[in-house]
Structures are given as structure tokens and as C-alpha cells.
Amino acid sequence: MQFRIATWNVNSLRVRLAHVLDWLSADGADLLGLQETKLIDEKFPRAEIEEAGFHVVYAGQPTYNGVAILARKTVFQSPANVVINNPLFPDEQVRIIGADLHQIDSSDTTPLRFLSVYVPNGAAVNTDKYDYKMRWLSALREYLAQQIAAYPELAVVGDYNIAPEDRDVHEPELWRDQVLCSGPERAHFQNLLDLGLKDAFRLHDQPEALFSWWDYRQAAFRRNRGLRIDHLLLSQTLTDRCAASGIDTAPRKLDQPSDHAPAWATLQSQK
DNA sequence: ATGGCTGCTTTGAGCAGA
């Protein structure tokens, strides 16, 4: 038995709900972290998602940010121990939601801890927003150090707004030292890996120039001028069970797409 | 060098995204 986990920055769930439900009904994922829902909780489409066969937990705010976790009811019990944001980092912006997931057919009491994170964009190097991104990432590392100690089965998925290496960038020289690619951001990403987490995408052979985000402008998707900034980070226990990984660019080809495509990983169920 | 799309906003020009 196996199941698939995924992450998708939908850039407004109001606009993209049909894309998400269509993708899930085509077995896109059994457990999905969303970012940039851009919905206050009162306007979140809980009923539609539950009727489509998914548990859902979410946290939003007006206009910006907002995160959610969707879990297929035929695979998972209802999410438990839901935590919004990083307890170590007071933040007016809603950028993290975490939950424990138990498989319905499992007698194991060890939960899969699943975090959907939306790392700040950072605007440009040496701006206030970039400084906020740096502080936010420092605090994330401290939080994940605690989470990995508490949860052997930990998956931290989301829009990291960091392209880890030059091979994750369509034109590395154009992006050299720019936001999303700067040395300090890449050092922060490496610090997360140094906690013992693995980038699921790089656990398996991948095509060259497979990205997860393309600018809406200048036909960037058609020309594949993209970056890989959406990631699934897995603890060692989950790394050992990761049978496949990838990025599904099909939803980026639809009418009115998100500028991000979903990234995914297939995990073998615990014995 | 700039802005180029898109979504949001007490609806309409400005912000933010990446």
C-alpha cells in the first residue's frame, strides 16, 4: 500500500477550487498542503471539499497568505493536533498549518506529522521583507528541530520561495544573487536539510529543467522559464519509504492556472 | 532600466507576488 502527498500554491483557492478538486479526483494526491488560499475562514469552501471526500483544516486571513491541509477520507482519519503558525515566532501573517495524520487502516499509533508552509517571498535582497524572510526561516529551523525530535514521521511541504541550486533555475546567471536564489536563502534551505530532512524531489531521477513556478508574464511557462521553489522535505523515516517523486505541470496548462504547479511524493505505507 | 500578468481590494488604482 502507498499514498501520495503533495504541495500546491494555488494563488487564490476561490479562483482555483475546481482545479484542485479535479486534480484530486484524478488521484493527484491523498494528502495535500495548500498555500496562498487568500480566504478568510468564513469564506473557506469546507463543504465542497468535504463532499469531494476530503477532511480539511485551514487558517486564513484577508487578502494574502492562508494555508490548508486536505486528507482523503478513504486513507486518513480526521486531522488531529492542528497547530497554526510557528509557536516560536509570533506572526500576524498566516503561513503555517500542521496536523497529525493517522491512516484509517493502521493500528500504528505513530502519526504522520504534516506541515503546509508558505515561506515569505522576500521581495528583493536587502529590503525589510527580505529581512523578515531571514528571521522567519531562522525561526522555522528552530521549530522544525523540535518537530523532528517529536515526530519520526515528519513531512514539511510548501512554497519555500527558495530555488536550492542552480539546476533549479531556468537561467542561473540571470537570477544570480537575486531573491529566491541568493546565498543566504540557499544557506537557510541547507540548514533545514541539515536537521536531517531530505528534498523528496532529489531522491529520484528527474528530468532536467523541471520547475514548479513560472511567471505569468512573457509566456514564461510556454518557454519553460521557471524555478523550482515548491518542495517536500521528509524525515529519514519517510525518506526510506519514498518510492517516487515529481512535479505535475499539467494544471499549469489549464485556463486561469495558478502560477505554481503541484509537487508530489509517493510514500509506502508503514508495515 | 522598466515592466511585462494575475488576484485582491469597501470597484479601481495600487499593492503583492516571485
Options A159, A168, A199, A259, the catalytic residue? A159
Give the SS3 label for residue A192.
helix
- CA atom of A40 to C1′ atom of B11, Å: 20
pTM of the prediction?
0.97
Q: Residue A262's closest CA among A202, A213, A223, A225?
A: A213
Give the pLDDT of chain A (271 residues) as one tens digit per residue: 999 999 999 999 999 999 999 999 999 999 999 999 999 999 999 999 999 999 999 999 999 999 999 999 999 999 999 999 999 999 999 999 999 999 998 777 799 999 999 999 999 999 999 999 999 999 999 999 999 999 999 999 999 999 999 999 999 999 999 999 999 999 999 999 999 999 999 999 999 999 999 999 999 999 999 999 999 999 999 999 999 999 999 999 999 999 999 999 999 997 6
Closest CA to A68 of A179, A48, A126, A22: A48
Instruction: Identify the residue whose Cα has the smallest distance to the C1' of B4.
Output: A217
Q: Which of residues 236-255 of A touch strand B (CB under 7 A)?
A: none
C-alpha cell of A75? 486513507
- pLDDT at position A107 is 72
pLDDT computed for residue A109 by the predictor:
79
The verdict on whether A64 is a catalytic residue reads no
